[in-house]
Chain A
Amino acid sequence: MTRRNVTLLGVALVIALLPLLLTSGAAFKGSDDQATAAIAALAPGYRPWAVPLWTPPGPEVESLLFSLQAALGAGVIGYYLGWRRGRQQRREDRPRAGD
C-alpha cells in the first residue's frame, strides 16, 4: 500500500511539474485573475460594486497567508494520522486477552 501511495504521489508531482518544463515563457497567472480580465473584456463598463474588507498588503503577506492555510491543514492531517497510527500500534503491541 505504501509503495502504491508513493507511486500515486509521484505521478501527481510529475503532472504538476511538467507544465513548468513544457510551457516555457508562460507567466502562470491564476485562472481566477484571467477570468476577471475576461469579464473586463466582455463587459468593459462593469465596475465591481464591493471591495474586500481587507486585502493583504502585498504579495509577500499574501503568500504568507496561503502557506499558513496549507500549514494549518497539513498540521491537522498529520496530527490525525499520527494519533490513529499510535492507537493502532498500541493495540497491536498489547497481547490479546484470551490468547
Chain B
Amino acid sequence: MNRLAYFGLAFIVLLVLVALFAPWIATHDVGVPDLLARYKGPSAEHWLGTDATGRDIFSRVVFGARISLQVGLVVVSVSSVVGITIGALAGYYGGWIDRVVSGYLFNVFLAFPGLLLAIAMVAFLGAGLNKLILALCVIGWVGYARVMRGQVLKVREYDFVQAARALGARDWRILFFHVLPNAVQPLIVQASLGMAGAVLSEASLSFLGLGVPPPAPSWGVMLEEARDLATLQRAPHAMLAPGLAIALTVLAFNFLGDGLREYLDPRQRKR
C-alpha cells in the first residue's frame, strides 16, 4: 500500500479511538450552552474555542466522530449485505432475476442522483438519524450489488467452482464458500469508499437540516450553525474545526480505498 493509504488508516484508527473514548476525551458537556462564553477563541479552557451559544467546539467535534462513524458503519454494513446478496443472486442465477436487477434496477439507480433520492425520502419521512440511515442504505446497496454481480460472473466459470458443483455442493455453499471469498477484495475497496460517501452524505443532509436534529453534535449541524455572517465575523474557527474533521475523515477513507484498490490489483501496482 502507498504512504497515503497508511495515513488514511492511521487517521481512521485515531478516529475510532476518539469515538470510543469520547466521554473521557471531551472536556465539556456538548449540549450545555454558556452564554457568557460565546464566540471565544481557542484557549486553555476551550481548546478550539466556543460557538455562538458558548458550547465547547473541541468536545462537540469529538462527539461528532461518534455520529459520523455510527452512520457510516450501519450504512456500509446494511447496504453491503443487501447489495452483496442481490448481486450474488443476479450474477449466479442469471435469467429473469438478472434481467430485473442489472437491466432495470441498476439503470434506474444509475440514472438518478443518489443525494436527491435521499433528500426526497427524508423530506417526506421527516428528519432523524434512523430515517437518514434508511435513506442512505436505499441509495447505497447498488454499488455493492454491481461489484458483486461482476465478480460472480467472473468467478462462476472458474474450474474450482465447476469442481465444487460436480461434487454436488449446494448453490448457497458454492456462493458462500467458493464465490464470495474470491469476490471479497473489490468489495472491501467499495466499502472503504462507501464509508467516505456515507460520512459525506450524513454531513450533507444534517447541514440541510434533514439529518440529525440540531442540538446533536453532528459535524454537518455544527457547520450549518457556524456559517451565518455573525458567527463567521466573530468566530471563524467555529466553522474550521468541523469542516476539517469532515474533510480529513472523507479524505482518509478515500486514501485507504484508493490504496487498497492499487494494492489488491497487482496490475495497478507501480512497484
B is a partner of A: no
